[in-house]
Amino acid sequence: MFIYTCVQELQKIARKVSYNEYLCSIYWKTIKRYLLYIHRQCYICKKRSRLTVHHKTYNHFGYEIFHLEDLQVLCWFCHINERKKSKLYFSKKIGKEI
Ligand SMILES: [Zn+2]
């Protein structure tokens, strides 16, 4: 319950800061490091370098810790391609430019 309350507070903060500030938060960096440690290759092309974490959906924005299935490890090339596909849709969904 305590962790859930903390995450709720974090989500409130996440909604107030820019998307780039959110990506610089300790919360996001911790999730990112964890996923990059667990999944050491791009989900799409299997490349093992220049990896990052991609939001497949922003349905649980700020609550990703409980919905790791919303995230995907991709190389930068695949990440750019995926972002092109989803950028407009998710910008509208979370009310922020991504
Ligand atoms: Zn890739």
Q: Contact 7/61 with Cβ under 8 angstroms?
A: no
Ligand 1 centroid, distance to 1 Cα (angstroms): 37
54 Cα to the center of ligand 1, angstroms: 11
What was the pLDDT predicted at 7?
67
Q: What are phi and psi of 61, to 5 degrees?
A: -55, 125
- List the domain boundaries for the chain: 2-94
Determine the distance separating the centroid of ligand 1 and the alpha carbon of 4, expressed in angstroms: 33
Report the pLDDT value the prediction gives residue 91, as an integer from 0 to 100.
Answer: 64
| Largest Cα span, the chain | 39
Mean pLDDT computed over 57-72: 90
Q: How far is the CA of 47 from the centre of ligand 1 (A)?
A: 6
What pTM, to 2 d.p., does this model score? 0.76
